[in-house]
Amino acid sequence: MTEDILSRVARMDAPEILWRSGAAARIALDRLRSAAVGPRWDRGDLSQRLAPLPDLAAARTSLACGRWQDAHVELARHVVDAPQRFTIAPSIRHALAPRIRAEYPDSASHAIARADRILAGDYDLLGYDGLRFDSDVLAIDWHYDPVNARRAPRWFWSAVPYLDPSCGDHKIIWELNRHQHWLTLGRAHWLTDDPRYRDACLAQLASWLDANPPLTGTNWASMLELGFRSLSWIWTLNFFADPDARDSSPWIVDLLVALDRQLTQIERNLSYYFSPNTHLLGEALALYVAGRALPALAASPHRAAVGRRVLVAEIDRQIMSDGGHCERSTHYHRYTLDFYLLALAVARITGDPIAATFEAAAARLGAAARLLADAGGRLPHIGDDDAGSLLPICGRAADDIRDSLATAAALTGRHELRAGETPEESLWLLNHRPLADALERSRSAPIQHAIASGSLPETGYYVSRSPAGDHLVIDGGPHGYQNGGHAHADALSLTLTVRGVPLLIDPGTACYTTDPERRNRFRSTALHNTVLLDHRPQSIPSGPFHWAQTASATVLRWRANGSFDYADAIHDGYRPLAHRRRVLALHGDLLVVADLIDGAGEHTVAAHWHVDPRWHVAVRGRSAALSNDERHVELMVPHGLMEAFTADEAEGLGWQAPVYGRVEPATTIRASSRGHAPLWMVSVFGLDPGNPIADVETVPVWAEAGALVQSIGVRISRRASTDYFLAAEPADDVAATWRIAELETDARMLFCRVDGEGQHSRIALVDGSRVRSSGHRRLQLALPRPVPDLHLDLAADVGYVVGRGFPSVHLGAGSRADGD
């Protein structure tokens, strides 16, 4: 342990040592002070914390005299009368609520149903439904984990071992203490005028303050959690401030005292070196939003400046040039997008010139999110997913980002980011006049349903999309960020949605710290749609958020064509052997995944395919039929053993966690084989039910000796065609051709379809210039130079064809060429 500490200190630079030393000194002093005088709230502190604004003079006088209720009324009047500086304000309630009820007729009943569950003491948090933290809704145990029946100690915050399972699952405890369910109560109150929701929220505020005095307990241990809670309290202040309400307690005084103390705690312990990722962003966001939205607090200008500085500095450090987030988790990407959208909205509302910088960041993040989301606006679960959300006001699933995309489209003017109609959440965020105008312009723009395939090459995601709603995401980048805390052992894994329905899924994130075995299993290689070699994972974990060994993937080729997409990638997790994966997605038709284990020796290779529970799986021999009510997909391999597992505890396969904490049965298909490397494993998915697969077999690739270092040929027999797939890697500086069946080519990838009459009807190639057929139906494609990609849709009367962009193009009637 001492050696580890010394090693960490040796890696620190001078600024980090200085910052950590100062933080440690402050924490030690706070701990001594807390032990000496006892932690307690003091309403009198607020008189020192208010800004010297003229309209707060009466409130300051009342505070100085201990007239807490009078001060409360004056503060409520200030909140109601002041110009809007947050996404909502009391002054807009009577305009916004009727508009939402009119545009979303089910909103009120939906809000009532969700809020009444809270009044009954039932909480839907993370993947858990109906959690109860006490029999009395007003007497919540704010330190209790009801799933594991454990309670965190009420020690000084820095001494609480919140990652220790003996304290319960800190995610469950913290999720309740974010107080985001107060937004649910606020929504219901505004849409129904029912005072019960306001009363319940204010009673919970009093309960929380009694149970969580300053710097005491687990709810002070994470600065990010304080940041989320602070934002919830700003929503609460604007939802419920009412000088005419005849409140029985000065809750606004209490809220501002505690809010100011929490913001101070955040600023003094920013996660510059502890979790310099979304933790730091969320903390900075809380400081910035509170600083801009609460001019009543004297520290607001300073807090806004600190938050602004961090948010701006982290743009280039956390947001990659392609718009992806550095942690390489789709869930945390969504978090980051929402953080900058809220910062942008508040900057616009308050007239902060930094809005232009936030807009540029949100535009990059939004474009990447739109690419990663499927046609319905849902993200695949790549990397960790803690099921949290910045704005869960309507209870939307965390992977459904239509609200984020709609908000991004309005705030950035990039209307193509929308995925469907604008959800209700966007109206709660964008009701200030200029923002509302931008939202209306975005809503009136046509929805762009057909999103082209694309890539985030620096982040490492490659996305194939088809007009029919197929959506394929390949993970081909680095293993997470820094210590890879939210990464999985998923190099070269992929997810697939077929015509809008998820088919191949990432099984998700079951837990973080409460069950180490389950944590490691759900982020293991075997639980991702990639290859397991010799029963060992690509990356080896070390604790819940660290790794002892990691794999890094590199995409060697990516071609996005109007008719097909092709990826060729490799990772080093099995060194000295290499796993290289080639993926051909023929839009709406076929998916070919060819995996090569390159090296020497005898090995067992297994490709795992994790199937969404909405599909029925029937395995027979080397094939599997995947079906639901409307769709049918086939999976076939040319050799090896195919097995299906559902809720299999022995193998640990056939499970999914659709949301953090909820583990449900699913089906895993495993195709395995054993042989001497170089060793190929090929999986072919038939996506066109009108042309089903009858058989898949490997066929020889013929070439001159020394011409090829790698090659695989596959013949796919189908009802209406015979398809050939070839992947080849030539030796350096070799100019030659190779042959599969009757086809000769110099392409690195060739796909050719021969129809039932023996005619070549479809050609796709990558990095090649020639295709020639020696069969009875002569085909010759001869380009003056190799092209990155080319697709030819051939008519029956084509004899001689040259690719698009060259002077001697000749295509038959109805033929088409796509490519470069």
What is the residue extent of each domain of the chain? 1-33, 52-444, 460-689, 696-820
- Alpha-carbon distance of 721 to 713, in angstroms, equals 17
Query: Average pLDDT of 317-329?
Result: 96
- Whether residue 238 is predicted with pLDDT greater than 60 in this model: the reply is yes
pLDDT at 8 over 80: no
Say how many C-beta atoms besides its own lie within 10 A of residue 490's C-beta.
28
Q: How many other C-beta atoms lie within 10 A of the C-beta of residue 659?
A: 21
Q: Residue 677 and residue 600: Cα distance in Å, rounded?
A: 5
DSSP character string of 205-270: HHHHHHH--TTBSGGGS-HHHHHHHHHHHHHHHHHH--TTS--SS-HHHHHHHHHHHHHHHHHHT-
What average pLDDT does this structure show over 458-468?
95
Phi-psi region of 158 (alpha: psi -120 to 50; beta: other; left: phi over 0): alpha
What single DSSP character describes residue 417?
G
User: 726 near 712, Cβ under 8 Å?
Assistant: yes
Question: How many angstroms separate the CA atoms of 474 and 591, rounded?
Answer: 13
Angle at CA 469, nearest 5°, toward 465 and 474? 35
Peptide bond into 54 cis (omega under 30): no
Question: Are 553 and 475 within 8 A, CB to CB?
Answer: yes
Rounded to whole angstroms, the Cα distance separating 162 from 599 reads: 45
pLDDT, tens digit, for every residue of 264-289? 999 999 999 877 899 999 999 999 99
Tokens standing for residue 24? 């440690």
The amino acid sitting at 92 is: I
Rounded to the nearest integer, the mean pLDDT of the chain is: 92
Q: What pLDDT is stored for residue 12 in this prediction?
A: 76
Give 202's Cβ-side CA count (13 Å radius): 22
pLDDT of 796 > 50? The answer is no
26-35, 39-48, 347-356: lowest mean pLDDT where? 26-35
List CB contacts of 210: < 8 A, sequence separation 6 or more.
Answer: none
**Looking at this protein, which amino acid is placed at residue 217?**
G
- Could you read off the pLDDT of 590-614 as tens digits, one per residue? 999 999 999 999 999 999 999 999 9
Mean pLDDT of 742-750: 95
Q: Is 640 left (phi over 0), alpha (psi -120 to 50) or beta?
A: left
Structure tokens at 175: 């999720």
Q: Where are the alpha helices (DSSP H) in 466-584?
A: 516-522
pLDDT for residue 799 is more than 50: no
Helical (H) or strand (E) element with 523 = none
Q: pLDDT digits over 175-234, tens only?
A: 999 999 999 999 999 999 999 999 999 999 999 999 999 999 999 999 999 999 999 999
On whether the CB atoms of residues 566 and 584 are closer than 8 A, the answer is: yes
Residue whose token pair is 């999976």: 635
**Pairing of β 590-598 and β 578-586:** antiparallel
**pLDDT value for 809:** 34
657 φ/ψ sector (left φ>0, alpha ψ -120 to 50, else beta) = beta
Task: Categorize the per-residue pLDDT at 691 as very low, low, confident or very high, splitting at 50, 70 and 90.
Answer: very high
Greatest alpha-carbon span in the chain: 102
Q: Which CA distances in Å does 724 have to 406, 696, 716, 739, 802? A: 42, 10, 6, 11, 20
52-444 homologous superfamily: Chondroitin AC/alginate lyase (1.50.10.100)
| 90 phi and psi angles, rounded to 5 deg | -55, -30
For the residues 706-725, what does the mean pLDDT come to? 94
Given a contact cutoff of 8 angstroms between Cβ atoms, the answer to whether 581 and 569 are in contact is: yes
Strand-strand pairing, 564-571 and 623-627: unpaired
Quick one: pLDDT band at residue 735, thresholds 50, 70, 90?
Answer: confident
Q: What does residue 600 show for φ and ψ, rounded to 5 degrees?
A: -140, 165
Residue with the larger pLDDT of the pair 17 and 489: 489
Helix ranges restricted to H, 50-106: 57-64, 68-81, 93-103
Quote helix, strand, coil % in the chain, to nearest 5: 35, 25, 35
Q: Is the dihedral of CA 606, 557, 548, 165 positive or negative?
A: negative
Given this model, what pLDDT does residue 19 score?
A: 81
Confidence of residue 798 (pLDDT cuts 50, 70, 90): very low
Q: Are 644 and 662 in contact (CB under 8 A)?
A: no
Q: How far apart are alpha carbons 607 and 682 in whole angstroms? A: 9
In the chain, % of residues over pLDDT 70: 94
pTM check: above 0.75: yes
Smallest CA-to-CA distance from 709 within 742, 652, 748 is with 748
What is the rounded distance in angstroms from the CA atom of residue 101 to the CA atom of residue 10?
60
pLDDT, tens digit, for every residue of 357-393?
999 999 999 999 999 999 999 999 999 998 899 999 9
Confirm if 282 and 339 have CB atoms less than 8 A apart.
yes
Residue 669's beta-bridge partner residues?
Answer: 609, 644
Class of the domain covering 460-689: mainly beta
